[in-house]
Amino acid sequence: MRPRDGEPDRSNPLPATSVLAHAVATDSAQAMNRSLRLLGRLLLIAALAFGASACAREEQPPAGRAATAPSGEVALDALPREAQQTLALIRQGGPFPYRKDGSVFGNRERLLPKQQRGYYTEYTVPTPGSRDRGARRIVAGKGATGDPATGGEYYYSDDHYQSFRRIRP
C-alpha cells in the first residue's frame, strides 16, 4: 500500500542508510570469514611443516655424538643384581614384570649397530627406590637365531639410552 502524500513510507522499517550499512556489514563479515579460513589453512600448513622438520631432526644422532657402536663392554657378573635377573628373564622368555618389556626398541639414538626396525627389543631393569621404571634398560638383539631369548646380543644402559655397553657372558 502506498502512503498518502506527506506521510512517511512505513512498509520498509529500515531507512535507506540502514539497508546500505547492513549490506556493507554483511560483505565485511563474509570477507572476514574468508580471511579467517585462509589464515587457519596457513597455520595448519605451517604446523604440519614444523612437525615434519621436527621428526626429521629426531632421526639424527644427538648433537656432539656420532652414530657409533656401544661404548665398551661389561661382564655379566659386573652388572647390578637387578640387571642379571632381567637378563635371566629375557633368556627364559619371560614372564616380564613391566607392560612395555619386550616392546620394539627403535634405536633412534643410533648408538647400537644399525639393524632393521623390530630387530631390537627393550626390557626394564628395576631401580631400587624408583617410583617408576627408572633409567636402566637392557636392549636385546635378535642375533643369528632371530629370537632375543637366544640371540646372545644384549646391551645395558644405566642412563636411559644415553650410552650402551655390550654385555659379555
Which residues belong to the active site? Answer: 122, 160
Coil vs helix vs strand at 140:
strand
Chain centroid offset of residue 124 CA:
20
* Spatial distance between the Cα atoms of 135 and 127, rounded to a whole number of angstroms: 8
Query: Contact 139/130 with Cβ under 8 angstroms?
Result: no
Where do we find the cell 587457519? Answer: 40
Which backbone phi and psi does 33 adopt, to 5 degrees?
A: -60, -45
| Preceding omega of 95 cis (within 30 degrees of 0) | yes
Chain centroid offset of residue 145 CA:
31
Query: Contact 7/1 with Cβ under 8 angstroms?
Result: no
Query: What is the number of other CB atoms lying within 10 angstroms of the CB of residue 92?
Result: 9
